[in-house]
């Protein structure tokens, strides 16, 4: 058998043929999906996973299998099945057959490289998309995805806050992603997803690229509407003048709430719980050489505390900027009434909506049935309540539940505290500002972190 014939025969093995089939199939399907993507027909995240991750993987696997098959075939022949010896092919471009074969080889190599590069770029871009983060692992990320879509930051992609620029952050995020994929695959992930995210990028690298706390100045009016559980759903209106503050343009002094994150000050604290709700130690450096340490009652010194030490930044108060949930069914219903979701003329609608929303349902389907049955039964004999109002109340209550409660992930009212301000006392209340402003954090000189309401707002 001639050496040339033997060389070509090495390609005629099952592994190489299978690799060629994988590569060809992967390339054809990838190009077809790419055309669909360019035409705007791609929307499903699972199709995106197939398009950007699986098909390129098949393509590359085929490219690897083809030379592997040739190498194994060569080892078989070298064992004595043939007398062929490896030698470099003699290339003569004056030969029409060799010239054509060389051109085909170069063209296919360039095409393969382009496909791999496009697939790699598209895959990275897809993995950085909110749809990949929020929809691919549907059950696990459903609460965060629901909050994100309804947040002021719904046009900010996840990676701008969760992943930094550069190769180191890319490698770090993908390694973390592998652990998460393992946890989802083998159902070992936490329920609910822990918060806060301990390795989140610093706020000055994320929040302050769009917001500049020192440039906020003056007050902001906030109106809070609450409703009673009586027949008339009696409304109470509280108007707060929030002292947002900032840096005074004239004397450069920091005032108001944003004094906490002014560059003139450096505030550190130690939290002794995972959710950063228990803060027994605060340290203030005013930038003028004055350092004051505040200790909660019963704490001797900072060295005796075991916990996380942080420099205070935006997310220590705005800890749910893109994944906000109502801290109680009462608050969620009040907001829905104020927004017109519930008809406030319906007798006892506030009380009844809260009642059906606070039931511990096993899943969403059961919750929707329970909400519908509960409200429909209560208003069944109410002659002065139109059916349309009842149907609207049912739909609104179901929406409120779906937006805030996720039984599969053990997310319910108050699971995720929101540290902006402070909540009313109750089973799902949170301290917020009062984590530090409680009149019990004192310096050795007797100075306290005041709980004076007028520091942050004036009630009008």
Instruction: Kindly list the strands in the beta sheet with 235-242, ordered across the sheet, starting from the edge strand earlier in the chain.
Output: 220-227, 235-242, 457-459
Instruction: Determine contact, residues 285/291, Cβ cutoff 8 Å.
Output: yes
Query: Among 418, 232, 219, 224, which Cα is nearest to 316's?
Result: 418
Higher pLDDT, 396 or 87: 396
- Distance, in Å, from the CA atom of 129 to the CA atom of 137, rounded to the nearest integer, reads 13
Q: How many percent of the chain have pLDDT more than 90?
A: 35
Give the confidence band of 304 by pLDDT, cuts at 50, 70, 90: confident
H or E, element range at 200: none
- Segment 35-44 mean pLDDT: 59
Q: What angle do CA 73, 78, 84 make, to 5 degrees?
A: 90
Q: Which of 261-265, 274-278, 342-346, 409-413 has the lowest mean pLDDT?
A: 261-265
Q: How far is CA 459 from the centre of its chain?
A: 35
Write down the H helix ranges in 386-429.
Answer: 387-404
Q: Which of 53-62, 251-260, 356-365 has the lowest mean pLDDT?
A: 53-62
Tens of pLDDT, residues 156-215: 888 788 877 665 666 677 677 777 777 777 888 888 988 887 777 888 888 888 888 777
Residue 391 has pLDDT above 80, yes or no: yes
Give the confidence band of 459 by pLDDT, cuts at 50, 70, 90: confident
Instruction: Determine contact, residues 62/26, Cβ cutoff 8 Å.
Output: yes
H or E, element range at 162: helix 159-162
Write down the H helix ranges in 284-416.
Answer: 329-338, 349-357, 364-378, 387-404
Which residues fall within 8 angstroms of residue 260, CB to CB, at 6 or more apart? 267, 312, 317
Q: In the Cβ-directed half-sphere of 240, how many Cα atoms lie within 13 Å?
A: 13
Q: How far is CA 271 from the centre of its chain?
A: 23
- Distance, in Å, from the CA atom of 226 to the CA atom of 239, rounded to the nearest integer, reads 11
Residue 454 has pLDDT above 60, yes or no: yes
Give the confidence band of 340 by pLDDT, cuts at 50, 70, 90: very high
Give the total residue count for the chain. 460
- Distance, in Å, from the CA atom of 459 to the CA atom of 242, rounded to the nearest integer, reads 9
Q: In the Cβ-directed half-sphere of 29, how many Cα atoms lie within 13 Å?
A: 18
Instruction: Determine contact, residues 279/436, Cβ cutoff 8 Å.
Output: yes
Write down the H helix ranges in 86-137.
Answer: 96-127, 130-135
Tens of pLDDT, residues 83-125: 444 455 666 777 788 778 778 877 877 776 677 666 666 666 6
- Segment 142-156 mean pLDDT: 88
- Distance, in Å, from the CA atom of 180 to the CA atom of 194, rounded to the nearest integer, reads 13
Which residues fall within 8 angstroms of residue 154, CB to CB, at 6 or more apart? 148, 322
Higher pLDDT, 200 or 32: 200
What's the pLDDT score for residue 44? 47
What's the pLDDT score for residue 86? 46
Higher pLDDT, 154 or 225: 225
What's the pLDDT score for residue 174? 67
Give whole-number Cα distances, 120 to 113, 307, 398, in Å.
10, 41, 42
What's the pLDDT score for residue 344? 93
Query: What mean pLDDT value characterizes the chain?
Result: 82
- Segment 279-290 mean pLDDT: 92
- Segment 129-142 mean pLDDT: 73
Give the confidence band of 262 by pLDDT, cuts at 50, 70, 90: confident
Sign of the alpha-carbon dihedral angle for 29, 30, 33, 38: negative
Residue 48 has pLDDT above 90, yes or no: no
- Distance, in Å, from the CA atom of 203 to the CA atom of 315, rounded to the nearest integer, reads 7
What's the pLDDT score for residue 92? 73
What's the pLDDT score for residue 239? 94
Highest average pLDDT, of 48-62, 252-266, 289-303, 425-439, comes from: 289-303
Q: What angle do CA 285, 289, 295 make, to 5 degrees?
A: 40
Residue 1 has pLDDT above 60, yes or no: no
- Segment 3-18 mean pLDDT: 60
- Segment 226-236 mean pLDDT: 95
- Distance, in Å, from the CA atom of 346 to the CA atom of 352, rounded to the nearest integer, reads 10
Tens of pLDDT, residues 188-204: 888 898 888 777 788 88
Does the global pTM surpass 0.75? no
């Amino acid at each position: 058998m001639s050496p040339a014939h033997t060389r070509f025969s090495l390609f005629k093995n099952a592994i190489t043929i299978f690799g060629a089939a994988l590569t060809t199939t992967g390339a054809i399907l990838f190009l077809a999906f790419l055309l669909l993507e360019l035409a705007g027909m791609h929307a499903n995240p699972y199709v995106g996973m197939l398009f950007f991750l699986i098909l390129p993987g098949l393509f590359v696997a085929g490219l690897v299998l083809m030379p592997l098959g040739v190498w194994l075939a060569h080892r078989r022949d070298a064992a004595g099945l043939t007398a062929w010896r490896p030698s470099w092919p003699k290339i003569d471009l004056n030969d029409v057959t060799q010239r054509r074969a060389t051109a085909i080889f170069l063209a296919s190599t360039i095409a393969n490289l382009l496909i791999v590069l496009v697939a790699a770029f598209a895959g990275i871009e897809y993995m950085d998309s909110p749809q990949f983060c929020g929809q691919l692992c549907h059950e696990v990320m459903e609460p965060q995805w629901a909050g994100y879509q309804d947040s002021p930051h719904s046009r900010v992609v996840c990676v701008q806050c969760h992943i930094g620029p550069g190769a180191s952050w890319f490698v770090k995020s993908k390694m973390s992603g592998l652990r998460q994929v393992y946890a989802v695959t083998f159902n070992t992930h936490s329920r609910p997803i822990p918060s806060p995210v301990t390795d989140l990028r610093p706020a000055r690298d994320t929040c302050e690229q769009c917001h500049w706390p020192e440039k906020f100045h003056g007050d902001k009016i906030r109106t809070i509407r609450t409703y009673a559980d009586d027949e008339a759903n009696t409304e109470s209106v509280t108007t707060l003048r929030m002292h947002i503050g900032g840096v005074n343009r004239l004397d450069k002094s920091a005032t108001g709430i944003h004094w906490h994150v002014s560059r003139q000050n450096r505030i550190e604290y130690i939290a002794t719980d995972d959710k950063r709700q228990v803060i027994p130690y605060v340290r203030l450096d005013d930038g003028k050489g004055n350092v004051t340490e505040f200790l909660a009652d019963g704490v001797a010194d900072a060295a005796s505390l075991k916990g996380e030490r942080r420099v205070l930044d935006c997310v220590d108060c705005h800890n749910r900027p893109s994944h906000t949930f109502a801290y109680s069914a009462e608050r969620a219903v009040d907001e829905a009434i104020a927004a017109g979701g519930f008809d406030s003329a319906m007798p006892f609608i506030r009380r009844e909506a809260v009642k059906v929303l606070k039931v511990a349902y096993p899943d969403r389907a059961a919750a929707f049935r329970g909400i519908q049955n509960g409200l429909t039964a209560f208003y069944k004999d109410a002659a002065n309540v139109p059916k349309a109002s009842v149907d609207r109340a049912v739909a609104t209550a179901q929406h409120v539940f779906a937006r805030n409660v996720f039984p599969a992930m053990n997310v319910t009212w108050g699971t995720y505290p929101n540290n902006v301000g402070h909540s009313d006392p109750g089973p799902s209340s949170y301290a917020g500002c009062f984590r530090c402003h409680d009149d019990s954090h004192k310096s050795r000189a007797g100075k306290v972190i005041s709980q004076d309401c007028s520091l942050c707002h004036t009630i009008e």
